[in-house]
Amino acid sequence: MVENERIAVQFNHVQKEFADQMVLTDLNLTIPADEIFVLVGPSGSGKTTTLKMINRLEDPSAGEITYFGRPVADYPLQELRWSIGYVLQHIALFPNMTVAENIAVIPEMKKMTKTKIQSRTTELLAAVDLPAAEYAQRYPHELSGGEAQRVGIVRALAADPGMILMDEPFSALDPLSRKQLQELILRLQAKLHKTIVFVTHDMHEALKVGDRIAVMHNGVIHQVGTPADIQQHPATSFIADFFAGAEVGHVVWADTLTQVLASGVLPQTTQAPTTQITAHTSVAAISPRLGNGETLAVKNSLDGHTYQLDAAGLLKYIVAVHTSSDSEGVH
Ligand SMILES: Nc1ncnc2c1ncn2[C@@H]1O[C@H](COP(=O)(O)OP(=O)(O)OP(=O)(O)O)[C@@H](O)[C@H]1O
Ligand SMILES: [Mg+2]
């Protein structure tokens, strides 16, 4: 790490125990300021627990965590929480408040002026492609899942926090919205240069959004490095295997037809649905038939329509969802 880099968060010999279970035995982690730091690992590896200890939703059983050089335990709790934005998988917007009112909650508590709140709301909504004129007065039930997550990001940014924690912020979205929001967060970051700690269990997402990545497994950090470091020099066989699963081909293989249909790239058909092909079928299961030149008709139980799927359609899906616009080709 470069010496003059500012450090946002430091974990020193942190342990965390729940009831009888030791979840983190000796966590040491340095999170630099002004970049996207991704914590990636399979379910149950301790990512959320690690994140929650930063804004003290959880306290460590032993060890110390500092936030910009000062132990988190020494900050007045309210000051610490206000200084750290938090974005979750399912944004809990207040259902009886408009988008603008939801965004204003923390800035109002921080006694920001009305004019300032309004201009900041307008500016941030524009930055996430939700023009205020169209969206500020809507209620949460009038938003799509992806739009609600965007409002959640704006809400976390509204009070100009020193850092933002994001816990699987895009995991509940369909693949296309997910890809759009990954690109949006990168665009936003190019302007704002915030310190962001981003938790995901998806290595593909980690490689795409992270300036630096920490790979976690069973409460242990296996490696911290840039995406290139981790891709080219995986420190353990666990990382090499985890990374192999993130390659484009593997990801597509495991996708279900629900995901393919949700991407919106397939044309509708009036043909009767092909028997025994349901939306839960995986791409792996239908690929041999597509390879033989068959055209399948797949019914989407969500919208009731039937869609035409052939090899070209699957390729369109792969291009739409699994390659980034700046990608130089297959990883
Ligand atoms: N409040 C709690 N009480 C008891 N055990 C808990 C508590 N919170 C988490 N754990 C346990 O700690 C371990 C790590 O959980 P954590 O939520 O940090 O994992 P994670 O990496 O975020 O997983 P996921 O990807 O599924 O969200 C798990 O074994 C979990 O069961
Ligand atoms: Mg979690």
Residue 247 has a pLDDT of 53
**87 CA → ligand 1 middle, Å:** 17
Tell me how far apart the alpha carbons of residues 148 and 166 are, in angstroms, rounded to a whole number. Answer: 14
Residue 251 has a CB neighbour count (10 Å cut-off) of 18
Q: 200 CB under 6 A from ligand 1?
A: no
Tell me how far apart the alpha carbons of residues 15 and 273 are, in angstroms, rounded to a whole number. Answer: 54
DSSP 184-253: HHHHHHHHH---EEEEES-HHHHHHH-SEEEEEETTEEEEEE-HHHHHHS-SSHHHHHHHHTTSHHHHHH
Domain at 7-248, CATH from 3.40.50.300, 3.40.50.150, 3.40.710.10, 3.30.230.10: 3.40.50.300
Residue 251 has a pLDDT of 57
Where do the H-state alpha helices sit in 42-130?
A: 47-54, 77-82, 99-109, 114-127
Kindly calculate the radius of gyration of the chain based on its CA atoms and give it in whole angstroms.
Answer: 22
Residue 250 has a pLDDT of 52
Q: Which atom of ligand 1 is nearest to the CA of 58?
A: 1
The domain locations on the chain are 7-248, 256-322
Q: 22 CB under 6 A from ligand 1?
A: no
Residue 328 has a pLDDT of 39
Q: 46 CB under 6 A from ligand 1?
A: yes
Q: Which numbered ligand comes closest to the C-alpha of 50?
A: 1
Residue 283 has a pLDDT of 82
Give the mean pLDDT per block of 10 residues along the chain (331 residues): 76 94 95 96 92 96 96 95 90 93 93 94 94 96 92 92 94 88 92 95 92 94 94 88 63 73 86 82 82 88 86 84 47 37
